[in-house]
Structures are given as C-alpha cells and as structure tokens.
Structure 1
Amino acid sequence: MNRHWALIACLWAAVLAAISCDAGAGAAPAGRGEGHRPRAAGQRPAEPRHREAAGGRPERRRTAEEARVPVIVAPVVRGRMQAYLDASSTLRAEEQVAVVSQATGVVVEILAEQGDTVRKGQLLARLAYEDLELAERRARNEFERLRAEHERAAALAQDHLLSEEEYQKTGFDLERARLDWEQAKLALEKTRITAPISGTITERLVTLGTLVRENDVVFRIVDFDSLVAPAFVPEKYLPQLRVGQPATVRAAGAGESWRPARILRISPVIDAESGTVEVLLAIDRREGLRPGMFANVQIVLDEHADVPVVPKKALVHEDERPHLFVVDGEGRARRRPVELGYEDAERVEIAQGVEPGELVVVVGQSALKDGALVAAEDEEGRPVRFGEGAESGADAPAAGAS
C-alpha cells in the first residue's frame, strides 16, 4: 500500500514540473534582456499577429459590404397606348333564315344535312312532284297547240280569210293557255325547297316521308360571314363614336385572342330605359365564332403614340399615389413618383416621371427601400451590371436612351 501511494506522489510531481517548464518558456521578454535569442543574419523579423490590410485597416475590422436585394428589371420603352370603352356582347348573325315549305306535300328527297355549307338557290329537299309534273306538261302542250293555231289565224287574217274577231279569240285563248302553263310551272317549282341565302345549315327539321304543310319550317340557315357583335354603349360616349372606328372582340369560347373589328352601324335611337345606344361591330376574323357566343368588346376611343410605357406590374402604390423604383447607374433603386396615362391589361403609359431607356424594377420591389443596392437581372434571367462591373456583364442602358 505504501508503495502504491509513493507511485502516485511521483506522478503528481512530474506533472507539476512539466507545467512549470511550459510557463517559463511562454514568458519570453519583450526586449533584449536575459534569455533573449538573437536574430540570425538575414532573418526577417517576426510579422505582427494582425497584419494591416491594404488601405491601412486591420482585416478583422473591415466593414461588411452592403447586402444587395435581388430584383428583375425592364427598360422603359416607347409604345402606343389606347383608351378603350369596355362592353359585353352576344354574337349574332345579320343573315339567318328559317326555310319554309311553299306547298303541302310529302318529303321524297333530302339533299342537304345539318352543318353543310350551301349557296343561294341550292336545292335542299323536294316534295312529291309527279302529279304536278304531269300537269305542267299538259299545260305546256296546250300552250304550244294554241300558239300554232294563233300563228295560222294570223296568216289567214292577213289574207283577209279570217275575221278580226276570230283572230282575236285565238289570241285570248293563247294567253289563257300561257297563264295556265305558268301556274303549273309555279306549282311544280314549289315542290323544290331551295336555300334563300348562302350559308351553313344549322338545323334540319324534316325527314323522308314527313308530310309538311305550306309555311312549315324545314331548315334553318345562318350566314356566318354576316356575324356581328352588338354592344350597348352609354349615351354619353355617343359623340366619340363613328362608323368605321376600330375595336376588338374576344369570345372566350373561341380562344383568348382579341380579334380586330370595326363599328358597322350606330343605332339612330337611344333606349329610354337603359340610356344606351346599340352599336354593331363587324368582326374581321370570324374563325371559330358562333352566333350566341358571349364576347367582350373594346372600342378604341383615343390613342397616344410614341409614349413611355412600362409593365403594369412595376407600379408600387403608396399613399394612393403610383411610384416606380428606377435603378440608377450605381445599381441603387430610387423610388420615383409618376403620373399615369392610358393602360391596358399588361402595360401602362407613364405621362411624367421616367424617360425611355431607364430601368425600372418589375419583380422584387416590395422588399426595396429608397436607395437600396440591387442585384439585377433582366426578364430573360441575364445579369445586369452597373458602374465598373458593367464591363463584365450586360450593360445597364443609359437614362434617356430610346
């Protein structure tokens, strides 16, 4: 046991001796006193622990660079902006007819179907006609017989071999026969159901064997080339409307594109109950449009050409006044109040406040403060450089460039 305690004491003594030696080695004198090791010839002096950075400031005291806010920018461009009058419409065809039978009879032929495009006068269906065809032949033969008889009577009367009275009677008989023949032809013609206009058959209302009566509707035809968009406009806009004025029409059921149109007619009367006037718009491109479709209408009332235009999403509203963040040549976003002009769904005219060529923030402006540094990209994702950095990236356009 005594031997064990002696061993522990020796170990503690060794540890204390090691600690004393380390402490003595670390306490080196600052000057050339006792224990100072001389520097060998050509040896560089020891560098201070905190080397001074370029510019004379210690690295550990360098101020962190100001953080840049990522944004997307777009240039102010010149463009054309228009003032629109918005209205709604239900499309209709100017020319659409219900084809009716002009006679009573059984349908024996159907020569057109729903969806067929037909021309004016084209045969669509036919009623039973055999009896009427025979009657027309008899009337024609009777007319031809009496015409020959009248010609013989004329020759006899010229030679004074026939009295004037008898000659006139043959003329009257011939005229009666002609009328009978015309009536028979008309009755036969009425068994032919034809298209009164050119267009598309939208409905067929008879089948083979159907007994139709006079004035029964058998087909419906619509001329899609006569498609118009009627719009009811408040009477206060009447002085700004004229025939031929440009407009656009969009029907959701036929795609999202706007189709060019123009004012075809303006009603001469104003509806007393609604205070509106009907304006008919002719549509230039009618592909895919159908009567009865709901459509949006925009009538151009005024136009500003070659004016500063920015994306509508660039606007920031503060205190009920519109602002834009304009990025200067140092890459700082400056909040600038602007005056607005005409606008559409995506763009807005800037009547005062910016110049074409300046860069405005279109994405990220909600996180900006006036004068904040930005890390900018254009709308295609390419970085935009400012100041000296512009040499290595996309140059920022100079203010006022068109």
Structure 2
Amino acid sequence: MTQRFLRWSSGVLVALFAIAWLAWWGLRPPPVAAVNASLAPLVRTLQFSARVATSSRVDVGSTLTGRVREVLVGEGAPVEQGDVLVRLDGDELRSALAQAEAGEQQAHARLNGLRSTGRLTVQASVAQAESVLSAARADLQRTQGLVGQGFLSQSRLDEARRAVGVAQAQLDAARAQRAANADTGTDVAQAQAQLAVASAARQSAQARLKESAITAPAKGRVLARAVEPGQIVQPGRALLTLALKGPLQLVAQVDERYLEQLAPGQPASVLADAYPTQAFRAQVLSIAPVVDAQRGAIEVKFSLQAPVPDFLREDMTVSIEVETARRERALVVPVGALRGDAGAEPAVWVARDGRVEARPVRLGLRTLAWVEVIDGLSEGEEVLVGAAPGPGARVRAVAGASAATAQVPAREDAGAAMTNAMGR
C-alpha cells in the first residue's frame, strides 16, 4: 500500500511539474532577433561598368568625291600630325590646277601690259592728239583772217571749226585712256580684279589637289579602317577613326537615379575584366550636364591616377567602384531595423526592460544593408530586426552581431547598383 502511494504521488508530482513548465513556457515572451547599435566606419559606393577612351577621338574622311588610289595605314598604326593616311586619284585635279595657273598668268600679263607698253601707247596718242589740235587751231585762225579779207568763203571757216572740235574730242579721249591706264584707273582696276579672280581660282585648285591627300590632324593611333584602294568615296563618310594622343579616360553610363550621389573628385577603384587581379585608381572627372532620355542614364568620365596600367586599350571594358560617401565613425543599424511606411517619419523598435518601444530616429548616410542614425538612438541599445510584436508588447531580445562585426554583404556585379562597405 505504501509503495503504491509513493508511485502515485511521484506521478502526480511529475505531472504537476510538466504542467507548470508548459505554463511557464507558454507565458514566456517571444524571442525577437536584435542587433546592438554600435559605432563603426561606413562607406557608400556605386558600382558600374565603363569603357576606356581617349580624351579625343575623331573620324577622318574626304572632302572630295573620288577614287582611292592607296591607303597608307592600317588599324593600330601610330601616326604623326600631317602623315598621309589615304591618297585619292588626283589627275583631274592636277589638270584643273594647270588651267587655273594659266588663267592667272594671262591676267597677270594683261595687267603688266597696261602698266608698261599700254601706258606708252596711250601717252603717244595723247601727244598726237595735242599736236593735231594745235594744228587745227592754227588753221582756224588763218581761215578766220582770210574769210575776213574775202579770200575764203564762210563754208571753209565752218570746216576749220569742225576740225578743231574733232581734234579736241580726240585729245579728250586720249587723256581719258591715259587716266584709265593709271594705277588708280578703271582699266588697271579691272585688270587687277581679273588677276585676283584668277589667283583665287588657282588657290582653290591647289587646295582641292592638296585635299586629295588625307592627312592625320594630330598625333595618335588608328582605331578603325573602313576604306580600301579603288573604292569611290564621298564627303561626309568616315574612312578612318583615330584616337588622338592624350590621356586615357574611363566613360560610364550611370543610371540617373544615382546622380545625386556623384560629384567630381570622388575616388574610385577600377578593375579590368581581362585583368581582374590588377586594380588601379581613378577619380570622377566630369558629369554630363544632360541625361540621355532614351536610356535614362548620364555620362560620367573618370581620369586615371598614376601609374596608369600598360594593358589598357581603347574601348576595353572595366568595372568601377566609386566611393560616394564615408563616415569614419557612425552609429549604424541594419536597414531591416527601420519601421514605418514609406514617406513616414523613420523609427526603430528597441527592446527596453523586456518590452518593445518605438523610437523615432533621424537618419544620415544609407547603404543597401546599413543606415546611419544621427539622433534618437544610443550606442549599445538593442534594436529589433525583422518580425516583432508591436510597441508595448513583451519580448525577449536575442542579441545578434553588432554593426562593427557584422558580415559585409557580397560585392555585386557591375550594373549601376548601390552597395556598401563596412569597416574598410
């Protein structure tokens, strides 16, 4: 009887203990993941793809329509300023130049003739006209005397007067011709104008012949060749593409959403896809003033910092990580700790004395995973992360890693994505 009672009482005690344990477990506050707000360095970066480019690239073409006689350079060839790259057939142009030169010589000879033998001839004509006028006046004077004495008729006097008039007119014409042959005269001016026209035609023919030899505008390298001997070329078509001598740049198309984060002078780390272990440095050089409306992107250029790698080539693809902001010592919490709807005042939930407390905060620098808290939170406070009961509820915070020791999210591939780096 005694043993049976002992067994029964032991079973009751075990059942009561189990019931009490289950009741305690059921009334226990639910566990909620938490992270300790702590001070740590915070870096915000942007990553995207870019291409290598020279500061100046030009397309070289012809200003004439013609047949290509020879192409003197190939892709990759270095060129100096003035080097002949392509030569067109110039036989017709040389004939036009010879004709223009002959026309200029003819105009020049006419002008010289007016200034030398022409002036002598005109001066002789003036002298002759003056002599004829003088003789006609003397004859008129004699005739007037004889008519007065009755030896000659009135008709003879009229003839003498007409002779004086004709001689005067001839002298006036000779003098006008002499004036026209002077340096300021109309004939000389006309001859000078004709010479100027002929000289311009000769210069134009020379220029066209010179343009049949297409030359390099500056020192550089041939990037592309789109012309072959025998081909008919026309103005406006690119025959060769040159990268002019100058410093290399990196050119990227960045999503316009990240425009506010970029500024000239920001440092960047660069990796070429073909040489993933040889990183080098760059910095933001300029940001385009307009956005590409088709792609919603903005062009950003980077200058390279010495030493510039030798393996860089025109149009090579590289990956760039730009440091857009840095805090050497910031109070940070995970982005997942933020509460509230979009547009509402940001807040976090803090575990305080075993209960959830809503805490409004003022935020600063933000990355994909972490956010800086400027005001409203103190170092060491337990901030709830993820799903949790509302403010006032009892909770049991399960402390996780602090921001200073949290694992940094993996680096994303190039593609204009905002990333973060902790403790770098």
Normalized against structure 2, the TM-score is what?
0.48
What aligned pairs does 1:21-100 form with structure 2 within 5 A after superposition? Answer: 83-93=44-54, 95-100=56-61
Maintained 8 Å contact 1:82/1:300 = yes
1:252 corresponds to which of 248, 273, 280: 273
What aligned pairs does 1:155-234 form with structure 2 within 5 A after superposition? Answer: 160=178, 162=181, 164-223=185-244, 225-234=247-256
2:98 is the counterpart of 1:137: yes
Maintained 8 Å contact 2:43/2:422 = no
- Which consecutive unaligned segments of at least 5 residues does structure 1 have? 1-79, 308-318, 322-335, 352-402
Secondary structure at 2:87 match in 1: strand
Q: Which residue of structure 2 aligns with residue 35 of structure 1? A: none
1:340 corresponds to which of 380, 400, 404: 404
Maintained 8 Å contact 1:249/1:283 = no
Maintained 8 Å contact 1:96/1:221 = yes
Q: Which residue of structure 1 aligns with residue 29 of structure 2? A: none
Residue 182 of structure 1 and its aligned partner are, at CA, apart by 1.8
Maintained 8 Å contact 1:229/1:282 = no
Secondary structure at 1:103 match in 2: coil
Secondary structure at 1:171 match in 2: helix
Maintained 8 Å contact 1:140/1:181 = yes
1:298 corresponds to which of 321, 326, 332: 321
Residue 270 of structure 1 and its aligned partner are, at CA, apart by 4.5
Q: Deviations over 1:211-237 (max 9, x none)?
A: 3344444322234745432140453x4
Secondary structure at 2:94 match in 1: helix
Maintained 8 Å contact 1:227/1:282 = yes
Residue 186 of structure 1 and its aligned partner are, at CA, apart by 2.2
Maintained 8 Å contact 1:87/1:233 = no
Q: Which amino acid aligns with 1:119?
A: E
Q: 2 CA distance for matches of 1:95 and 1:260?
A: 21
Q: Deviations over 1:76-131 (max 9, x none)?
A: xxxx9854222222444553333222223332232212210123432102111133
Maintained 8 Å contact 1:103/1:215 = no
Q: 2 CA distance for matches of 1:344 and 1:137?
A: 76
Q: Deviations over 1:45-102 (max 9, x none)?
A: xxxxxxxxxxxxxxxxxxxxxxxxxxxxxxxxxxx98542222224445533332222
CA spacing shift, 1:229–1:129, aligned 2, 3 Å: same
Residue 165 of structure 1 and its aligned partner are, at CA, apart by 1.7
Q: Which amino acid aligns with 2:299?
A: E
Q: 2 CA distance for matches of 1:154 and 1:173?
A: 15
Q: 1 CA distance for matches of 2:44 and 2:281?
A: 15
Maintained 8 Å contact 2:42/2:423 = no
CA spacing shift, 1:340–1:121, aligned 2, 3 Å: farther
| Structure in which a larger fraction of residues adopt helix | 2
Q: 1 CA distance for matches of 2:195 and 2:108?
A: 6
Q: Which amino acid aligns with 1:340?
A: A
Residue 199 of structure 1 and its aligned partner are, at CA, apart by 2.5
CA spacing shift, 1:271–1:168, aligned 2, 3 Å: closer
Q: Which residue of structure 1 aligns with residue 63 of structure 2? A: 102
Instruction: Supply the RMSD in Å over aligned alpha carbons.
Output: 4.2
Q: Deviations over 1:146-198 (max 9, x none)?
A: 34543564577799561512111111111110121022112212211122454
Maintained 8 Å contact 2:48/2:252 = no
Secondary structure at 2:302 match in 1: strand
Q: 1 CA distance for matches of 2:403 and 2:265?
A: 32
Q: 2 CA distance for matches of 1:337 and 1:228?
A: 39
CA spacing shift, 1:154–1:340, aligned 2, 3 Å: farther
CA spacing shift, 1:272–1:298, aligned 2, 3 Å: same
Residue 251 of structure 1 and its aligned partner are, at CA, apart by 1.5
Q: Which amino acid aligns with 2:206?
A: K
Q: Which amino acid aligns with 1:114?
A: E
Q: Which amino acid aligns with 2:286?
A: R
Q: Which residue of structure 2 aligns with residue 44 of structure 1? A: none
Maintained 8 Å contact 2:52/2:248 = no
CA spacing shift, 1:91–1:320, aligned 2, 3 Å: farther
Q: Which amino acid aligns with 1:232?
A: V
Maintained 8 Å contact 1:229/1:283 = no
Secondary structure at 2:277 match in 1: coil
Maintained 8 Å contact 2:253/2:297 = no
Normalized against structure 1, the TM-score is what?
0.50
